[in-house]
A and B are shown apart, each in its own frame.
Chain A
Amino acid sequence: MPSTPSMSESRTTEPVLEVRDLAKHYPLTRGVLVKRRIGAVRAVDTVSFALRRGETLGIVGESGCGKSTVAKLLVSLERPTAGTIHYRGEDIARLSGRALRAVRRNIQMVFQDPYTSLNPRMTVGDIVGEPFEIHPEVAPKGDRRRAVQELLDVVGLNPEHINRYPHQFSGGQRQRIGIARGLALRPEIIVADEPVSALDVSVQAQVVNLMESLQDEFDLSYIFIAHDLSVVRHISDRVAVMYLGRFAETGTGREIYDHPTHPYTQALLSAVPVPDPEPRTRPPRILLAGDVPSPANPPSGCRFRTRCWKAQDRCATEVPVLAVPTGLAGPAAHASACHFAEERAEVRA
């Protein structure tokens, strides 16, 4: 992606979204009429990050790590149990009614499944035009049809197809319709939850390219959530690796992918299949033992310790903070929530 030095400079200055100690616990209850609380699923626990203008933050993790819950919290589909989400100095986690609606204009979402994210009973024109009906101040009534056609054009669809129904389009085209809908209100931030994982390989690239073009065009900030590390690396400026409700490691794409210091990131990266029978640089694969523990009963201390080959007594008692570990330099010096963070020796060799 072409990015001039001045652009990347502006990217490092202006945070549009600041998340502090975000947590979401879903209560586990028992009983039919009178519900007793018997515990909680800690889907997200103390997650903090900042998103700068025009930047893409990728969040990767395996299923059940809480990355989709983060997406729902950011677009206020769920209310956080604790923590703050500041958008332009305002905590949107506390907003409701009119104020929340106003903020929603600026934070939009693109969904995973192009087949269920569009109402099958509405025409493409109605789907893409709905944002204008909900926020009439954005486009005057007479101009809406033209605005919708403009949007379809922008995402690479034929504006003439405004009266067609979603089932008349292929998966990739539907995802474009979903992107057009997300773009309609000219938001600053788009939260994309697995936007390409339901698409075929040959179509995935089209949508990724479209998202990149739109970002440059409209100066969008993306939160790009995916389980596919390759796609995340491709599109993201910064990456957060999530495990069991917490960020394990954050840094730039190069820091995370070429110089990971958290054992989980290292294992994850080594497991990603590469479409190349004889890759040039490839660390030996780390096979993790066992499965991800249940978020209803996460391990004490470091949540990864039950599968970690470096685990010591300290890991069970002391929660590692997400910070730049002392003693690391260069690209390895980025935030990592591990008591024993270090690069793998094999990677360098």
Chain B
Amino acid sequence: MAARLLDVRDLRVEFRTRDGIAEAVGGVSYAVDAGRTLAVLGESGSGKSVTAQAIMGILDSPPGRITGGQVLFQGRDLLTMGAEERRRIRGAAMAMIFQDALSALNPVVPVGAQLAEMYEVHLGMSRKDARRRAVELMDRVRIPAAAQRAGDYPHQFSGGMRQRIMIAMAMALEPDLIIADEPTTALDVTVQAQVMELLAELRREYAMGLVLITHDLGVVADVADTIAVMYAGRIVETAPVRDLYRRPAHPYTRGLLDSVPRVDHRGERLYAIKGAPPSPLALPSGCPFHPRCPRAQEVCRVERPPLYEVPAAGAAPASGGRTSACHFWKDELDALDAVNV
């Protein structure tokens, strides 16, 4: 089997704080292939962004520290490779899109020049060629009147347009992998839809792998192939998108799905997961979700559940396996099937 585009294995990150060591990422594994979209879903503090920073090599350290695991990119471990080699890969083969485009762009350089710089530095193009390519790229991400607007500064663009420029920056060198960290969270819904559409289209066109990090169950439903749900620094469930929404195999996923109000029908009273996510400084014993879990038993308090293999329904096997970190995943699915039948 050919090496996967990105294969994260048992990644561990901890943060040293004044109040002790916080285990922000406690053994996360996920993978994405070229041309596929993996959505990493989690609430704030679930470790989804820290994982991405560790993959990209932009983790703030100190206080952060990678304490274990592998990040295989096209079969090679990024964590053991030299700094220079890693930087080259980061520039050309993988790129990242951030939530806040305004702070990710240089405020005193016109956007066209910022894009052109990518070509000048990485591809050694002449200034004139680089400029031309920059305008082409802006046009490609559908910025109206790109040629005129290339001379504008970031603050002169609207939020949606700035996010397009961010996407253009990430796309400039046609990377194999893009990691997008909450790319549309700061945007209004109408703009959000445009940006997601663009991102999906570019991914198809260039056959890139896309890791989409978000807290929004709605955003990922349309675009993701596989979803990994994170809770308290761990993956609790990985599943093809359809299975995850139809038959979640972890009580946390199920709780999330039930607690979101929906625009397409007015529901009864919302289901609410009780309590709040735990502090990474004081993770509960056993399964970190057990204090909030309606299904929790004594074993959940004592024994940390491994990632159980869950049979995927329908045509799913192509998109990889299905896992759940719940001792009672079978009961969870049976209960769901009983309701649905």
A positions within 8 Å CB-CB of B: 1, 62-63, 170-173, 200-206, 208-209, 212, 227, 229-231, 233-235, 253-254, 257, 267-282, 285, 287-288, 290-292
Contact = CB atoms under 8 A, between A and B. Distances in A.
25 contacts: A201-B43, A201-B259, A202-B255, A202-B272, A202-B277, A203-B276, A205-B270, A229-B189, A230-B262, A230-B263, A233-B262, A257-B266, A269-B263, A271-B192, A272-B263, A273-B216, A273-B218, A273-B222, A276-B262, A276-B264, A277-B242, A279-B264, A280-B264, A288-B194, A291-B161
Interface residues of B, number: 46
Q: Could you say which of A63, A172, A204, A276 has the most chain B C-beta atoms within 10 Å of its C-beta?
A: A276
Interface in B261-304: 261-264, 266-274, 276-277, 292
Contacts of B242: 277-278
Given A275-B221, A277-B221, A231 B261 contact: yes
B313 interface: no
A274 B218 contact: yes
B275 to A, nearest CB: 8
Contacts of B158: 291-292
Closest 10 CB pairs of A and B: A273-B218, A234-B261, A205-B259, A62-B188, A275-B217, A271-B193, A205-B272, A170-B276, A205-B270, A200-B43
B259 A227 contact: no
Nearest to B244: A277
A257 B222 contact: no
Contacts of A285: 193
Given A201-B259, A229-B189, A229-B263, A272 B270 contact: no
Given A205-B270, A233-B266, A277 B222 contact: yes
B327 interface: no
Nearest to B240: A277
A267 B276 CA distance: 35
A233 B261 contact: yes
Nearest to B160: A291
Contacts of A209: 269-270, 272
B259 A230 contact: no
Given A209-B272, A234-B267, A287-B190, 8 more contacts: A202-B43, A202-B292, A206-B274, A208-B270, A274-B262, A288-B194, A291-B191, A292-B158
B256 interface: yes
B241 interface: yes
Given A171-B276, A257-B263, A276 B221 contact: yes
A276 B246 CA distance: 8
B139 to A, nearest CB: 16
Given A200-B277, A202-B43, A205-B273, A272 B218 contact: yes
B340 to A, nearest CB: 14
B284 to A, nearest CB: 15
Contacts of A268: 189-190
Contact of A212 (B218, B222, B266, B269): B269
B167 to A, nearest CB: 16
B197 to A, nearest CB: 7
B259 A271 contact: no
A113 B145 CA distance: 38
A24 B260 CA distance: 34
A242 to B, nearest CB: 12
Contacts of B266: 233-234, 253-254, 257
Given A202-B277, A291-B158, A271 B189 contact: yes
A202 B263 CA distance: 17
A62 B161 contact: no
A277 B215 contact: no
B245 interface: yes
A204 B259 contact: yes
B44 A200 contact: yes
A62 B190 CA distance: 8
B186 to A, nearest CB: 9
Given A201-B43, A273-B192, A281 B270 contact: no
B316 interface: no
Nearest to B261: A234
Given A201-B43, A281-B264, A272 B189 contact: yes
B263 A208 contact: no
B219 interface: yes
Contacts of B93: none
B307 interface: no
Q: Could you say which of B221, B270, B271, B273 has the most chain A C-beta atoms within 10 Å of its C-beta?
A: B270
